[in-house]
Structure formats: C-alpha cells, structure tokens
Structure 1
Amino acid sequence: MYFYDRLKQNQHTLNETESFILDDLLQKKNSIKDMTIRQVAQNHFTAPNTITRLCKKLGFKGFTDFREALYQTEQTENDYIEITSLDEQIVKTKQLVNMDTVNDVLDAIHHANRILFFAVGLSRLPADELDARLQLVGKHSQTFLDPHVMKYNAELLTENDLAIAISLSGETDNILKATTIAQVAGAKTLSITGFSTNSLAKQTDFQLYGFSSDVRVNGIDATDRFSVHYLINLLFTEYLKRYHSKSN
C-alpha cells in the first residue's frame, strides 16, 4: 500500500503523543534514513516500544519498515519534483480521498439551506470557485472578504446549514474561530486542509485532505492550492452527477 494511503487509513488510531511524534518524523523525512529507533525515542523522551507501537498502528511492521517507506517516498518526490510535481500532488491527494466522506458532504451540501465558506489569503481562490459553481445550481452560498463579517454570519447559521472551512495549515486563527462559532450554532462543518494532524480537522464533522508542499517567499505563504482545487472540483462534479443531472 502507498505510504500516504497507509497514513490516511490509520492515522485516526493515534493518540495525541503519537500524532506529535508522527508530525515530527514527517518534518524530518529528508534525514530519516540515518535515524535509529533509540534516537527517535530519546528525542521525544519516550521508550522505543512507543515508536514501534506507533509504526504498527499505521500499518507498518515496525520503525525500520516505516523509515524505509518514508525515505523511498521522499526519494521519489526529489526525483520528479520539477517534472511531475503537480502530477504527484494529484496522485497523493486522490489517495487521501475517502469517498464515504465525499458522499456525506454531498448529502450535506444538497440539504443545506445556506452554505458559508471560511477562507482567507490564497485559500479564498478555491472557495470562491466552489461558491460560484454552487450558485449556478441554485445553492445559497457565500464567501467573505472581512473575517469579522465571516464570524458574524457564522453566528446566524442553523442546524440546516453547512460551513466549509479551507486552510492548508489547519491552524489559521480566524478560520478556527469562525468554524467554532458555526458549530455552536448547530451547523454541519467540513474542513479542507493539508495532510497533517491539525486543529481545524479535529473540530469539524467532515474532513478532506490535500497534499501540498509548503512554499514561502520572504516569509509569506506562496504554497499553491492545486490539491484544494482538485478537491472542490471533485465535490462539484460528483454533486452534478448525483443531483443536478437528475433534474434536467
């Protein structure tokens, strides 16, 4: 099974400590080939058995199996990054898609009286795209420029509405606050984030993950939202197949 597919299938079994260790290992994937299980355990003030248990929960035989799989994945990325970076993003994002979740989201979209998008910065681009498309099929949806207006409208949601929060990091403060407000109001919530253990995904009813590589220019986020565009196109295409085509 593909490395990221194993993580997608099994990451939910990890406890908070194990999730923290996994995030750290993914951050250090360039140097993981030289790590030993004892080094990893010492770095996290834990025992080697904890690391072994973490790897087995993710579907690997042990740390060595996990380490080699992650290293090989990184080598593949390095070999093809200039030629097939977008192709790699599509492949990995497709492997992160849970179609049961997609089906649940489609049902939530169809039955929602109102759909609000919570997104700022570059993440507003895919939000605006899906917003415009949903309006074409008669859905009452909306995006926001001002975070204060976004949070105010979140308060007006009901149990018959849906909030879609988009943040690659899953840690954007305004998005987290608006999503919390929407939940308190009783609305269903969907998060679209990068593949990581993040605060936004933990608090929403539904989660979709896209694969991307962090890019910053002079400290400013310049990461492309290609995987997010893929996911919102998947949602809209599947929505048309299920609902709109039947009414025409």
Structure 2
Amino acid sequence: MTNQKLSNAESYTWQIIQEHYKQVPKLSISEIADLAHVSISTVNRTVKKKGYAGYADFRYSLEKKELPQIQGFSSEVLVAISKNEEELLYTIHGISAESIENAVQLIDSASEILLFAQGLSANAAKEMMKKLQLFHKKVNLYSESAEMLYYANFTNAKSLVIVLSLSGETDEIIKALKAAKQKHAVAIGLTVSSNSRLARLADVSLVGYKSPLEVNYFDLDVHSRLPLYILVRVLFDAFSIFQKRK
C-alpha cells in the first residue's frame, strides 16, 4: 500500500506526524489524532498508505531509529539528514548485483539508447545521458509525452529504453514504454517500487528505497530523487569498470 495518494486530511495528518517526529514514539494514536484534529481511523489510514501495518507498527519503527549525532543542528534538520541516510543505505544494500550486471550487458550491446523521464527524474536521466555519451553511446533523453511516444514507435530489437520514474506509475511513460516493447525494444527500469507497472514491464529493474517519512508541502512533485541518483551512479560505475576490462 506504499505511495498511495493521501487525501487532504491524511496529508495534513502526515505533516503533523513529521512535525512531531521525535515525540511520536511516546504519543498514542489518540494523541496524534487530537493534534491533527482528525479521527483515529484517519491516522491509521494515513500510516497504512505510507506502507506500515498501522500506527503501532509505525511508532515501533521510529523507536528503533536513532537520529544522527551531529552538533549544531535542530532535531528537525537531523530528521531530514536521517531520511537521506536511510535512503542512501537502504538503496545501496538493496541493489541486486545480478540486475546491475544484466543492465550493463544491455547497455553495452544496445545500438541506441532512449532515456524516458519526467519532472525532477529527468535531471537524474540527464546525468546518465552525459555519462553514457563519454563512452560514445548513441543516447537521447526524452521527457515530453509526445516525444517519448513518437520515438518509441521507431525503436527495434537493438534499441534499449531506460526509464527513470520514482513511482514507476507515470501514465505517459508507461504508454511510451509499452509502445517500445511492441517494437521489441528491451528496457531497464529505475524506480523505488518493485510492484510498479514499470518494474513489471522492464526486462531489468533496478529498485531503490524511498523513505516514507518525507513530507511534501507543495501541490507539485518535488519528492527527493536521491534513490534514482544512487542507482544511476552505481550503474554507471559498474559500466565503466566493465568497459575498462574489455
């Protein structure tokens, strides 16, 4: 149930939980409900959408965590640092060596590479494109819906489509990827959801970890792409080593 869209009440509840992150292990579900001026069921529904079995499970997970001991930072900043540390370590430890090796082989054998990404994920894709170009790979990045679909229809069995999508559920990207697959192109997916449509469609999936504790105060997709950047870095490092050994 991770990454389900929160209602307005649930988003506000999650914001309150984040603002009282340090106190949560000592707060009952009814106390959280009072702080957020919502029902107990709303609190439970909120944490379940964030991937926990319920409030008790969520509170227990926080009890086991310790904030970094760095002098001079407020507890709020330490919480933010802790989330980044969590994403970094969990992504690195969760990377499949076999998937990396398979992805490297696909990149090496591809006659052309198409990168599909939108929003902030396109920045990570741009970094990947520039790095692959250093090895004289024919690679292009497409971030507009019409562009992705157009060029997907001109792929073939020697084409490699690399998709970067945090959720793995962006409709425009999935539509373009399906079109490329119909042309027998192979695909690598970089995402944080192993159950996403992207992970199911890709021939090779590299799955990172996204902390469910991030707060988004905006009505825009500004979620951290740190897991995608880590996957890009590891994949490119592995590809570089492979090239040097050839």
Do Structure 1 and Structure 2 share a fold, with TM-score over 0.5?
A: yes
Q: Corresponding residue for 2:54?
A: 31
Q: Corresponding residue for 2:226?
A: 226
Cα 1:155/1:215, change in 2 over 3 Å:
farther
Judge conservation of contact 2:168–2:193 (CA < 8 Å) in 1: no
Q: By how many angstroms is 1:84 displaced?
A: 2.6
Cα 1:205/1:221, change in 2 over 3 Å:
same
Q: Corresponding residue for 2:129?
A: 131
Distance 2:179 2:98 in 1: 26
Query: 1:3-22 residue pairs with structure 2 within 5 A?
Result: none
Q: Corresponding residue for 2:152?
A: 154
Letter in structure 2 aligned against 1:217: Y
Tell me the alpha carbon deviations over residues 43-71 of structure 1, each in whole angstroms, 9 at most, x when there is no partner: xxxxxxxxxxxxxxxxxxxxxxxx5xx76
The number of equivalent residue pairs is: 188
Determine helix, strand or coil for the equivalent of 2:120: helix
Residue 242 of structure 2 is aligned to residue 242 of structure 1: yes
Higher RCO by CA contacts (8 Å cutoff, separation 6 or greater)? 2
Distance 1:132 1:28 in 2: 35
Q: How much identity, in percent, do the aligned residues show?
A: 26
Tell me the alpha carbon deviations over residues 8-43 of structure 1, each in whole angstroms, 9 at most, x when there is no partner: xxxxxxxxxxxxxxxx9563528342xxxxxxxxxx
Query: 1:9-88 residue pairs with structure 2 within 5 A?
Result: 25=48, 27=50, 29=52, 31-33=54-56, 72-76=60-64, 79=67, 81-88=79-86
Distance 2:141 2:65 in 1: 34
TM-score under structure 2 normalisation? 0.70
Q: Following TM superposition, where does structure 1 have runs of at least 4 consecutive aligned residues deviating by more than 6 angstroms? A: none
TM-score under structure 1 normalisation? 0.69
Tell me the alpha carbon deviations over residues 137-195 of structure 1, each in whole angstroms, 9 at most, x when there is no partner: 11001102422111111111111111011111111011101110111110111111113
Cα 1:138/1:77, change in 2 over 3 Å:
farther
Letter in structure 1 aligned against 2:205: Q
Query: Mind listing any 5+ residue stretches in structure 1 that lack a counterpart?
Result: 1-23, 34-66
Q: Corresponding residue for 2:217?
A: 217
Q: Corresponding residue for 2:205?
A: 207
Q: By how many angstroms is 1:216 displaced?
A: 2.5
Residue 165 of structure 2 is aligned to residue 167 of structure 1: yes
Q: By how many angstroms is 1:199 displaced?
A: 1.5
State the superposition RMSD in angstroms: 2.2
